[in-house]
Amino acid sequence: MMEIFDIYLLEALVNGILLGGVLALLALGLNLIFGVIDVTWICYAELVMIGMYGMYYLFSVYGLPYWVAAPICILLVAAMGAALHFLVIAPLLSAPPINQLLATGGVLFVLQSFATVAFGIDFRNLGIRLPVLALGEMHFSYARLLAFGAALIGMVAVYLFMTRTYTGTAIRAIAQDRQIMALMGVDTKKIYLVTSALGGGLAGLAACLLVLQYDVHPFVGLSFGPITFLICVLGGLGNFVGGFVAAFLFAEIISLGGLFSDLEWGYVLAFAFFIVMMFIRPAGLLAKRS
Q: Smaller CB distance to other proteins: residue 102 or 146?
A: 102
Q: Which amino acid is at 71?
A: P
| Cα separations in angstroms, 42 against 129, 133, 136, 166, 256 | 32, 36, 42, 29, 28
Among 13, 182, 271, 286, contact with other proteins (rule: CB under 8 A): 271
Work out how close the CB of 226 gets to other proteins at its nearest, in angstroms, rounded to a whole number.
Answer: 3
How far, in Å, CA of 114 to CA of 120, rounded?
9
How far, in Å, CA of 276 to CA of 239, rounded?
20
Query: 266 and 46 in contact (C-beta within 8 Å)?
Result: no
Question: What is the per-residue burial (b if ≥16 Cβ within 10 Å, else e) of 43-61?
Answer: bbbbbbbbbbbbbbbbbee
Work out how close the CB of 206 gets to other proteins at its nearest, in angstroms, rounded to a whole number.
Answer: 18
Using the rule CB under 8 A, is 275 a contact of other proteins? yes
How far, in Å, CA of 24 to CA of 45, rounded?
13
Using the rule CB under 8 A, is 92 a contact of other proteins? yes
Work out how close the CB of 57 gets to other proteins at its nearest, in angstroms, rounded to a whole number.
Answer: 18
Among 156, 160, 241, 278, contact with other proteins (rule: CB under 8 A): 278
Interface map 106-135 toward other proteins (x if CB under 8 A): xxxxx-xxx-xx---x--------------
Using the rule CB under 8 A, is 7 a contact of other proteins? no
Using the rule CB under 8 A, is 149 a contact of other proteins? no
Using the rule CB under 8 A, is 248 a contact of other proteins? no
Long-range contacts of 113-122 (CB under 8 A, 24+ apart): 113/218, 114/50, 115/49, 115/50, 115/53, 115/218, 116/218, 118/53, 119/53, 119/218, 121/217, 121/218, 122/217
Among 130, 132, 153, 222, contact with other proteins (rule: CB under 8 A): 222
- Contacts of 61 by beta carbon, 8 Å cutoff, 6+ apart: none
Using the rule CB under 8 A, is 88 a contact of other proteins? yes
Using the rule CB under 8 A, is 105 a contact of other proteins? yes
Using the rule CB under 8 A, is 260 a contact of other proteins? no
Among 13, 17, 79, 101, contact with other proteins (rule: CB under 8 A): 101
Work out how close the CB of 27 gets to other proteins at its nearest, in angstroms, rounded to a whole number.
Answer: 12
Closest CA to 223 of 275, 154, 270: 270
Q: Smaller CB distance to other proteins: residue 10 or 38?
A: 38
Residue 176 CA from chain centroid, whole number: 23
Q: Smaller CB distance to other proteins: residue 222 or 241?
A: 222
Interface map 20-59 toward other proteins (x if CB under 8 A): --------------x-----x-x-----------------
Query: 210 and 22 in contact (C-beta within 8 Å)?
Result: yes
Among 150, 210, 230, 247, contact with other proteins (rule: CB under 8 A): 230
| Cα separations in angstroms, 122 against 114, 116, 218 | 14, 9, 8
Chain positions contacting other proteins, by CB under 8 A? 34, 40, 42, 88, 91-92, 95-99, 101-103, 105-110, 112-114, 116-117, 121, 218, 222, 225-227, 229-230, 232-233, 237, 262, 264-265, 267-268, 271, 274-275, 278-279, 282-283
